[in-house]
Structure 1
Amino acid sequence: MGRPLLYLLLACFALPASAQIYKYTDANGNTAYSSQPPDGLPAQTVELPPLNSVETQKPGTPTPARPVAAQATGTQEAVAPYSALELTDIPTDEALRANNGTFTVGVKIEPRLQRQHLLRLVLDGAPYGQSSNVPRLQLVNVDRGDHTLAVQVLDGEKVVQQSPAVTFTVQRVHKP
């Protein structure tokens, strides 16, 4: 009896928003739902909450979640596709302890990375490592001392957006 009731409920929610739903108890004592009031049985109308809706937008349309980038080219303004793009998991108040100079950093990106885009690190102003679509990136054998690190979003070889650079210090064991 559980599946038919589930199907009935699903069918009720699939009806247009203007349809009325009725709840009643059938002759066997089971609660039932219908789009038609039952003959000869008392029924209650069911008030349904409003349906959720999502407004579709064309790609590249500036919205509060997609701020217009500060760079302008001629009369067209470039649109930053990501409202948040920043590095995480890098200590800036203390030295990063990486005895062999290997560590990973996270990338906070909103909305989610688009399918055609890749992430690439920029270490001390130069591209670093392989491009990836994973928001965890590894650095290997980084020298001790002060460094800057940023992340770029690439579309092919074109830089779409870049995060602010973060300054950090690597502390390594020095072996003579």
Structure 2
Amino acid sequence: MSANPKHVWLHWPLICVLMLIGHSAVAEVYTYIDAEGNRVFTDQPHKNAKKVDIAPSNQIRSAPKKPSQASSAKPKPGPLFHYQLLRILAPEPDSTIRDIQGNLIVTVTNDPELQPGHVYRLLLDGKVYGDAGRSPVFPLTNIDRGTHLLSIEIVDQYGRVAERTPNQPFHMMRISLAQKRLANPCKNEEYGVRPECPIKDKPPEESSILPFF
């Protein structure tokens, strides 16, 4: 079913007005009757055209929201927590470690207990050794011969050092198996137990039976 042409022409002026308004918020609109009897709307002045009054728009443009300072600001750290005690239990200060592979275990203690978000960090000769963590036990491997300095730090969640022990010296001696066996001779029951006392080096046991002549 085709649309009624008169019905279409009745709505055409309204459509034109809306298009002109949307085209420019400040443009002036004029209307007139053309030679064929049709009403025309235009934004250009025309002979015998009348100006159309347009009501101001009630649309309110909101100002762009500024980012909230509270949401973008990082939480400020509180007062730094301090421990009453932090010290290295092992090795003891100025102790000598004898290990062929240069390995040792470092253990620490503190009071009060480690706080949430805090971690231990070990320093060997003034440099961070390994990863920081909440375990108070640090295995060290392949440490060079000579004297070294140990220190332990407790670091909070903001990277601040809450406590640190003084540098504590120890001496690493990486002696050979032969040197260890020479310094501490092997006993019969230690063969196959101590690394420097392999079972193959165990001397044969003397027989208690006297030879018969």
Could you tell me the TM-score, scaled by structure 1's length?
0.51
Distance, in Å, in 2 between the alignment partners of 1:97 and 1:136 is 19
Q: CA deviation at 1:139?
A: 1.2
- Alpha carbons of structure 1 residues 137 and 82: separation in structure 2 relative to 1, 3 Å: same
Listed as ranges, the matches of 1:140-151 within 5 Å are 140-151=141-152
What percent identity do the matched residue pairs reach? Answer: 32
**Cα drift, residue 174 of structure 1:** 5.9
- Contact between 2:94 and 2:169, CA under 8 Å: does it hold in 1? no
Distance 1:99 1:160, change over 3 A: same
Q: Aligned partners of 1:80 and 1:165: how far apart in 2?
A: 22
Give the secondary-structure state (helix, strand or coil) at the position aligned to 2:114. coil
1:112 equivalent to 2:128? Answer: no
TM-superposed CA distance for 1:158, in Å, is 2.5
Q: Which residue of 2 aligns with 1:135?
A: 136
**What corresponds to 1:82 in structure 2?**
83
Counterpart in 1 of 2:92? 91
1:148 Cα offset (Å): 0.5
Q: 1:158 aligns with which of 147, 157, 160?
A: 160
Q: Quote the RMSD (CA, aligned, Å).
A: 2.0
Distance 1:92 1:85 in 2: 14
For structure 1, the residue ranges without an aligned partner over 5 or more in a row are 1-77
Q: Distance in 2 between matches of 1:91 and 1:162?
A: 17
Structure 1 residue runs of 4 or more that deviate by more than 4 Å after TM superposition: none
* Structure 1 letter corresponding to 2:174: R
Distance 1:94 1:155 in 2: 30
Distance, in Å, in 1 between the alignment partners of 2:127 and 2:147 is 15
Give the Cα separation in 2 of the matches to 1:172 and 1:91: 18
Deviation at 1:90, TM superposition (A): 0.9
Checking the alignment, whether the CA contact within 8 Å between 2:80 and 2:162 is kept in structure 1 is no
Name the structure with the higher strand share. Answer: 1
Rg larger for? 2
Determine helix, strand or coil for the equivalent of 1:107: strand
Q: Equivalent residue for 2:13?
A: none
Q: Which amino acid aligns with 2:156?
A: D
The verdict on how the C-alpha distance between 1:114 and 1:94 changes in structure 2, with shifts beyond 3 A counting, is closer
Displacement of 1:126 after TM fit? 0.8
1:45: which partner in 2? none
Q: Which amino acid is the alignment partner of residue 164 of structure 1?
A: P
Alignment of 1:2-41 (within 5 A): none
Supply the distance in 1 between the matched residues of 2:166 and 2:155 (Cα, whole angstroms): 15
Q: Distance in 2 between matches of 1:127 and 1:113?
A: 19
Paired residues of 2:94 and 2:171 also in contact (CA < 8 A): no
Aligned pairs, number = 98
What stretches of structure 2 of length at least 5 have no aligned partner? 1-78, 178-213
Look up the equivalent residue of 1:128 and give its one-letter code. Y
Structure 1: how far apart are the matches of 2:95 and 2:163?
28
